[in-house]
Chains A and B, each alone.
Chain A
Amino acid sequence: MTSLGSPTATLPESADYVIVGAGIMGLATAWNLARLADGEARPRIVVIDKSYLCGGASGRNGGGVRAQWSSETNVELMKRSIAIAAEFATRMRINVWFRRGGYLFLARTEARAKELEASAALQREHGLPTRVIEPSEARAIVPELDVSRLVCASWNPDDGVVFPWSFVWGYARAAASLGVSIHTHTEVTDLITEGSRVRGVVTPRGSVRAERVLVCAGAWSPEITRMVGVELPSRPHRHEICASEPLKPFLRPLVGDLESGLYFSQSMRGEIVGGISNARVPEGIDHASSMRFLGLYASALLEAMPRLGSVKILRQWAGCYDLTPDGNPLCGEVDEAPGLYLMSGFQGHGFMIAPIMGELFAKHLLFAEERALFERWNLRRYREGRLLHESMILG
């Protein structure tokens, strides 16, 4: 494997692409850039991360992978991302434990029911089997679910969960085998500029000059762009998650409640992994855990599934959502800093959408494809007042 933080490995002095962030987004992009380019024209790619692999959101999420979204763009992209996820194990030769147990979104009010119905209809237009079902059918899918205060639920049996870390390792190994150089435990401390043009990065282990610097740093992205005076509208928002003791398999889908942000699913090891929204979080990037989260999560989970009362929680942790005001990401070249490209602001679903976004980003960079998408999601929409919308954000 590559250097992966070995103190003796040297950083190349120059490359065609420097990718800041070795999470799934950066690594998926790196692999796609390497494999899609023609052999001779294969670009020199360096991926840099200040921590260890899986140290960021890629290593902290619950592994949910769904196509149930309220915007056409997200539905279409996630269909393709799920298809990539389903083939990942055999293509990259690393198990990712992708299980299509479905996603069940609960509606406890008529207003939410209407929203889910609208989203379900949109999803069906795009070929998904999503249906809005009665409480009794929800109960048949999850027998332990208390459906007494349920209006209805949105059900897509083809959504699933994965074991997230293997995606990072799989992409890293595959990228490295194509010559991508990955350096962990290496912090980008500054960007090299010539005028307003970005020309590389500076790290304590040396500088790397490159025509294109890709910021795939998730919640840390604003820190990077700030180095050239570009303020992103995104803000980190701590989201907590916890895991229970391992139980024999009983829970088929991931169950979500958009009202409270509660979500929970059973991992391949049998643990119930889940989280819930918590408005009271510290400013900035924070990975500490709170007692308040435990109370919110436990009471909401037991309301949904009373039988879990004497099931024990083993550990809690946290990661940061990378939130933007309109719930849509920031992608593409930055007008104010040519040579600097963004791929961040994916709220709490950056992980699941990275397989397809890594591919599209690479195609955009190599062949100027996907112009419409990168125009839609470019940072300049904030300047131009073209904000978007997405309502099915969970957690």
Chain B
Amino acid sequence: MVARRIERSKPRWVTLRVDGEDVPAAEGEPIAMSLLAAGRVTLGRSVKYHRPRGAACFAGRCDGCLMRVDGVPSVRTCAVPAREGTTLETQNVLGSAKHDLLAAADWFFPGGMNHHEMFTWARPVNEVMQRIAREIAGIGTLPDLDASVGTIEDASPDALVVGAGIAGLEAARTLGEAGLEVLLVDEEDAPGGLLRFVEGEAERARALADAARRAGVDLRSRHAALGLYDEPERGRLALVGGERGLLRVRARATLLATGRTEGAACFEGSDLPGVIGAEAATRLLAHDVLPGERIVLAGDLSTRRAELDALAAALRAAGAEVRGPLPLASVARAEGSASVEWVTLREGEGEREHGVDLLIAAPRTSASYELAVQAGARCELRDGVFEVVEAPRERHTWIAGALAGAASVEDAISSAAGAARAMIEALAARGESTP
């Protein structure tokens, strides 16, 4: 696998300590990207078969980049900014991530193990099997140190907006300009959502974020909304996680603008390190990391054609050889010992093998429905992905943007504006006047 850095910016360099070796990193970049840029694609092993694992989403939504960081088990390295001296250790291997002896399990059970029925013919053998299964289970080990209790902050804004993509920003700005107290939380490093990575749109997102702040919006990046709760004797609360602790939010109205998630594709070898999403590739390029030099790019062309074309162009401009965008169904399998080395594509009547460093597999995205469904929204499976089809049943929660099905930036903005107007009206009608 040949990932490399694109020399565009001048970062401050720091040194990470990875399994006892020094690895250079740009200060503040996601460590999973530092590792990739340093040629470390295989970061760990899966739970049952010890199949190789590496970062796949680079967005804190998979299990591929987990490592032990500064004595803490199973930390998503894609969410840890590189600092001088950060210590990383590979977990769950006998040997190394690239050569794990326990991968014999994968080889020993070629068709998979039927863990429900295996070794159930006699009690002694069943007990031995269970003892072994328990010993090899689990990923991380106990932390090196105790941790001090985190911080807790209580907030009671008029409106809580979850997600600072274009829809969330637009809604927050509108609510702020209407005189409401707005708390805007976003799990990313900086506001703007995916538009941060789109040439021409990034500036628009930045301007909108500035306008929101000028309108008094309390914008918290690196804050993920964790759940919506109805507490006996406390009412409706939202739990938000920050870096050092939590926010407990009692908002009079909530807007969910959580966007969409690019899930995993599914084909033989789709779980290999070096098989990543298109969004992941976009994030890497935005951090000046070219994730590979020989790339196959395949995805759902019916919904993501323009995005994938733009990605292919950007990868080529950075010096990579890109085959695609191809339809996702043309990928027959991905193969490699510890990371992807070959991709077999269906070509015409037959198949053809291609040597690669990277396979970008970009299926259709699903609405990021979790919070919406907690708030009573209804979801349906449509064309193989989940869409929110009915807004939250409970009165104080709205949805907007790509979560609500907006297919373009303009749609997202108008849906956000509509939701914000509805929220302003609802709050006024409840007899609680805006200041």
CB within 8 Å of B: which A91-130 residues? 93-95, 97-99
Contact B142 A307 (CB under 8 A): yes
A311 within 8 A of B: yes
Contact B143 A311 (CB under 8 A): yes
A288 CA / B231 CA spacing, docked (Å): 9
Q: Nearest chain-A residue to B146 (Cβ)?
A: A306
Contacts A93-B117, A290-B229, A291-B227; is A246 near B137 (CB within 8 Å)? yes
CB within 8 Å of B: which A55-93 residues? 86-87, 89-90, 93
Residues of A within 8 A of B133 (CB): 97, 268
Residues of B within 8 A of A375 (CB): none
B382 within 8 A of A: no
Stretch at the interface among B120-128, B268-276, B279-287: B120-128
Residues of B within 8 A of A98 (CB): 130
The smallest beta-carbon distance between A308 and chain B, in angstroms, is 8
Residues of A within 8 A of B72 (CB): 310
- B binding-site residues for A, Cβ under 8 Å: 47, 72-74, 92, 115-123, 126, 130, 133-135, 137-143, 145-149, 227, 229-234, 237, 239, 248
Contact A245 B74 (CB under 8 A): yes
The smallest beta-carbon distance between A122 and chain B, in angstroms, is 29
A205 within 8 A of B: no
Contact B230 A309 (CB under 8 A): no
The smallest beta-carbon distance between B91 and chain A, in angstroms, is 9
Contacts A87-B123, A94-B120; is A269 near B137 (CB within 8 Å)? yes
A247 CA / B143 CA spacing, docked (Å): 10
Residues of A within 8 A of B231 (CB): 280, 290-292
Name A95's contact: one of B115, B148, B149, B230 (CB within 8 Å).
B115
Name B120's contact: one of A90, A268, A288, A292 (CB within 8 Å).
A90
Q: Nearest chain-B residue to A306 (Cβ)?
A: B146
A249 within 8 A of B: yes
A299 CA / B148 CA spacing, docked (Å): 11
Contact B130 A97 (CB under 8 A): yes
A98 CA / B72 CA spacing, docked (Å): 30
Residues of B within 8 A of A249 (CB): 134-135, 137-138
The smallest beta-carbon distance between A142 and chain B, in angstroms, is 12
Interface size of A by CB at 8 A reads 40
A144 within 8 A of B: yes
Contact A289 B123 (CB under 8 A): no
Contact B120 A246 (CB under 8 A): no
Residues of B within 8 A of A89 (CB): 120, 123, 126
Which DSSP category, helix, strand, loop or mixed, fits chain B's interface? loop
Name A245's contact: one of B73, B120, B147, B149 (CB within 8 Å).
B73
17 cross-chain CB contacts under 8 A? A89-B120, A90-B121, A94-B120, A95-B130, A247-B138, A268-B130, A270-B137, A289-B229, A291-B227, A291-B237, A291-B248, A299-B149, A307-B143, A308-B143, A309-B146, A309-B147, A310-B72
CB within 8 Å of B: which A280-323 residues? 280-282, 288-292, 294, 299, 302, 306-312
Contact B122 A292 (CB under 8 A): no
Contact A144 B142 (CB under 8 A): yes
A250 within 8 A of B: yes
Contact A248 B232 (CB under 8 A): no
A169 CA / B115 CA spacing, docked (Å): 13
A209 CA / B231 CA spacing, docked (Å): 43
The smallest beta-carbon distance between B150 and chain A, in angstroms, is 9
Contact A281 B232 (CB under 8 A): yes
Contact A250 B142 (CB under 8 A): yes
Contact B140 A245 (CB under 8 A): yes
A166 within 8 A of B: yes
Residues of A within 8 A of B230 (CB): 288
Contact A99 B73 (CB under 8 A): no
A-B contact count (CB 8 A): 113
User: What 0/1 readout, one digit per residue, does chain A (238-274) give for beta carbons within 8 Å of chain B?
Assistant: 0000000111111000000000000000001110000
Q: Name the residue among B126, B134, B135, B233 with the largest chain A CB count within 10 angstroms.
A: B134
Contacts A249-B138, A291-B237; is A90 near B143 (CB within 8 Å)? no
CB within 8 Å of B: which A160-217 residues? 166, 169
Q: Nearest chain-B residue to A280 (Cβ)?
A: B232
A86 CA / B123 CA spacing, docked (Å): 9
Q: Name the residue among A95, A269, A294, A306 with the largest chain B CB count within 10 angstroms.
A: A95
Contact A248 B147 (CB under 8 A): no
Contact B47 A291 (CB under 8 A): no
Contacts A90-B123, A270-B137; is A95 near B232 (CB within 8 Å)? no
Given contacts A93-B121, A95-B115, A247-B140, 13 further A-B contacts (CB under 8 A): A94-B117, A95-B120, A166-B116, A246-B47, A248-B139, A250-B141, A269-B47, A288-B230, A290-B229, A292-B231, A299-B149, A309-B146, A311-B143
Contacts A95-B126, A245-B73, A311-B73; is A270 near B116 (CB within 8 Å)? no
A98 CA / B73 CA spacing, docked (Å): 27
A268 CA / B133 CA spacing, docked (Å): 8
Contact A292 B137 (CB under 8 A): no
Q: Nearest chain-A residue to B138 (Cβ)?
A: A270
A290 CA / B232 CA spacing, docked (Å): 9
Residues of B within 8 A of A288 (CB): 229-230
A247 CA / B137 CA spacing, docked (Å): 7
Contact A268 B140 (CB under 8 A): no
The smallest beta-carbon distance between A301 and chain B, in angstroms, is 12
The smallest beta-carbon distance between B195 and chain A, in angstroms, is 30
The smallest beta-carbon distance between A320 and chain B, in angstroms, is 15
Residues of B within 8 A of A282 (CB): 232
- Name the 7 nearest CB pairs between A and B, nearest first: A270-B138, A309-B147, A248-B138, A310-B147, A306-B146, A270-B137, A310-B72
Residues of B within 8 A of A308 (CB): 142-143
CB within 8 Å of B: which A116-160 residues? 144
Q: Nearest chain-A residue to B150 (Cβ)?
A: A309
Contacts A89-B120, A90-B126, A94-B120; is A270 near B146 (CB within 8 Å)? no
Residues of A within 8 A of B120 (CB): 89-90, 93-95
The smallest beta-carbon distance between A237 and chain B, in angstroms, is 12
Contact A309 B227 (CB under 8 A): no
Name A292's contact: one of B92, B119, B148, B234 (CB within 8 Å).
B234
Q: Nearest chain-B residue to A101 (Cβ)?
A: B134
A290 CA / B138 CA spacing, docked (Å): 27
A225 CA / B237 CA spacing, docked (Å): 36
The smallest beta-carbon distance between A190 and chain B, in angstroms, is 28
Residues of B within 8 A of A94 (CB): 116-117, 120
Residues of B within 8 A of A248 (CB): 92, 137-141
The smallest beta-carbon distance between B144 and chain A, in angstroms, is 9
Q: Name the residue among A87, A93, A269, A282 with the largest chain B CB count within 10 angstroms.
A: A269
The smallest beta-carbon distance between B125 and chain A, in angstroms, is 9
Q: Nearest chain-A residue to B69 (Cβ)?
A: A310
